[in-house]
Every structure is written in C-alpha cells, then in structure tokens.
Amino acid sequence: MIQRLKDYDFTLIITPLLLTAFGLVMIYSASMVSAVVEGLESTYYLKRQAMWFAIGLVGFTVTSIFPYKHYQKLIKPIIFGVILLLLGVLIFGSVVNNAKSWFRLGPLSLQPAEFAKLALIMYLASVYSKKQSYLDNFSKGVLPPLIMTGIVLALVVLQPDIGTASIIFLIACSVIFSSGIRFKHLSLLIVLGVGLVILAIPYMVTDERLSRFTGAYQPFETPDSDGYQLIQSYLAIGTGGITGVGLGQGVQKLGYLTQAESDFIMATVAEELGFIGVIIVIGLIAIIVLRGIFIARKSEDSFGALLAIGISSMVGIQACINLGAISGLLPITGVPLPFVSNGGSSLFVLLISMGIINNVAMNVKRKEHERS
C-alpha cells in the first residue's frame, strides 16, 4: 500500500486540488453580491460548486485507481454514450445563453459537451494507439477516427456551442499530431480543415457572432453594447495593479462585470489579488500541463502517452482561450477557466481527467521500478 501511494504523482494531485480550492474562494467572492441580487443565498454558487467538487473528488479517486488500459475495452460504449447525450441535449436540453447545451436534473445542470472532450480524447488515443503499425495508410489508419471526430464536432456546433467545439477541434488536433502520422497526411488534414472552415463560414456567421469580434477587437466603439463586457474586464484588470485591491474588495463584480464568477473569474482575480494572483494561477495551470506532457514523454505505452497529451492539451487550450477572451486577444466564447471558474460539469470532467493521468503516471513509475 505504501509503495502504491508512492507511485502516485503528487504534483497532479496537489496542484488541481489547490486550484479548485482557490476557485471556491474566488467564486464566493465574485458571486456573493450578485447571488443576493438574484434573490438567492450569498453562498448559493459556492455551495453548488462545492457539491460538484465533492462529486469530482469521488470521480478523481475512482479513476486514479482504475487501470487506464481498461478504457480501451470500454471505448465503444463511452463514445457512443456521449453521442447519445449530445443528440439528447439537442432534443430535450435547456437553452442557456442561446445554446441548447444543458440537461436540467433537479438542482444539477449537466453539459454533455464537457464529457465529449474527455470521451473523444479516450477514443482517439485508443484508436491511434492500435493503428500505430499502419498509420502510413491514410484511408485505413488516419481517416476512420476523423469521421467520429467530425460527428462529435457537428453535434456540438448544432447546439450551437462554438467555443467548446473549437476546444474539441484543437484537442483532437493535438492527439492526432502526437500520434505519429506522416507529415504529408498531416499537411493534407490541414488543407482539408481549412477548406471545410471556409465552406462553413457562410452558414456559421451570424450578427451575434460578428458582434463578438467587434466587441473583442473594437470594444471602445460600442462601449454600451458589444464592447461593454470586455471594457469592464479591462477596468477590473487595470484596477488590480500588482497586488490587487484585496480579497472580496473588488468593485466590478457588483453588477458591472457579468459572469464574474464563471468565464470572467480571472478578471476578478486580477482586480482583487493583482498581477501576483494572476501569475500564481497561470503558473499552477502551467505546472499541470507541463507535468502531463512529461508523463506522456515517459510513458512507453502509446495509449497512455496519447491520453496524457490529450488531457494536458485540454487544460492548456481551455485556459488559453479563457485568458484570451478576458484580455481581448480572442472573442468571448463562454469558455471557463480550468478548475477555477464556476461550472460543475467542467470541474467534474477535469477532476476525473486528473485521476486518469495520475493512473498513467503510476504505471510509468512502476515500469521504472521494474527496470531498476
């Protein structure tokens, strides 16, 4: 038992838990006033996230113990189960922020697209690890998994949830790129991808989506409409300076900056804890991403390596898109900051993902012990 505990990667246990605990503090700070204004308890959002944290801890424990190689035997029910959930939410889901992305289950809300991220990572890692011997054959080794990826992406786009679809696309690209496919096949996929995006643009462009671009890149031209949210984010970030105005002392969360506890929680961190707080959060997220890549490089099993790459890229890509949105580098797409933002489905998936990558790390350490 002692040796088993030593085999765990404590960096990937302590760091996510620290970020999540910090997120609970910031969620309470950012939402206590807005919750009361909405007629709720000041601790409403804190309690909901804490409940998901508790559920996520159970999931983390189970997936850290469950041998990751067994997922290859379960990959068909996992991926088809997620596809059924994505189809179901299009029919029975609830509309939030103009997207039909949620199931309402009593006090809980479930977002199937979050589970689709992890399911697709597992699927691509499983298929490409089995196809290593004939990855040179595009039609046999490379193309079949792309069809399933396209189906998942299409179902998320139909909600429509372009932000999550973009993350899923980039995660898939990272796993496919890391699988070892030939450069000419990779070049062909890039050309095909660009072509499909160009063809899809006329059908995907709407006034609302165009307004997100003008709001991101020309916010001061429409300060009372499209640019309002980003300007409030700028004010929060600028007010915080180096050390911040103090925990709980922020002003922008008091009805000026919307979604201060979710997508724009980093703006709240910047205002209350300053540049130092922002750097600490980004540093902890970077530790998780880099540690995951390190484990992938050390893994002798291609399935475990691709799982670690996929999960690390999921955390890193999601963080970059969130930080890009609050700083005006990217359009606002409603992507939460990993582990920190309010969002139960996202937190649950991230914690079970950390359990899986911990199991991969444990397998790597055991292999090292066997050789020594």
Burial class of residue 175 in the structure, from the number of CB atoms within 10 Å of its CB (0-12 exposed, 13-18 middle, 19+ buried): buried
Copy the structure tokens of residue 271: 């205002």
Burial class of residue 4 in the structure, from the number of CB atoms within 10 Å of its CB (0-12 exposed, 13-18 middle, 19+ buried): exposed
Backbone φ, ψ for residue 270 (5° rounding): -60, -40
Beta bridge partners of 20: none
Question: Residue 98 and residue 163: Cα distance in Å, rounded?
Answer: 13
pLDDT value of position 47: 93
Q: What is the pLDDT of residues 17-47, one digit of tens each?
A: 999 999 999 999 999 988 998 888 989 999 9
Strand runs labelled E in 162-298:
none
Question: Residue 285 and residue 291: Cα distance in Å, rounded?
Answer: 10
- Those residues whose C-beta lies under 8 Å from the C-beta of residue 127, and which sit 6 or more positions away, are 75, 144, 145
The percentage of the chain sitting over the pLDDT mark of 90, rounded to a whole number, equals: 51
Question: Residue 229 and residue 164: Cα distance in Å, rounded?
Answer: 20
Tally of CA atoms within 13 A in the half-sphere of 281 that contains its CB = 26
Question: Residue 338 and residue 346: Cα distance in Å, rounded?
Answer: 7
pLDDT value of position 4: 63
pTM given for the model = 0.91
pLDDT value of position 1: 53
Copy the structure tokens of residue 121: 């990572």
Annotated domain spans of the chain: 1-370
Question: Residue 269 and residue 265: Cα distance in Å, rounded?
Answer: 6
Which residues in the chain land under pLDDT 70? Answer: 1-6, 132-133, 135-141, 184-185, 197, 199-211, 369-370, 372
pLDDT value of position 44: 92
Copy the structure tokens of residue 318: 């999601």
Name the H helices within 261-334: 265-298, 302-327
Q: CA nearest 30: which of 366, 340, 367, 360?
A: 340
How long a stretch of residues is the chain? Answer: 372
How do strand 99-105 and strand 108-110 relate by DSSP bridges?
Answer: antiparallel
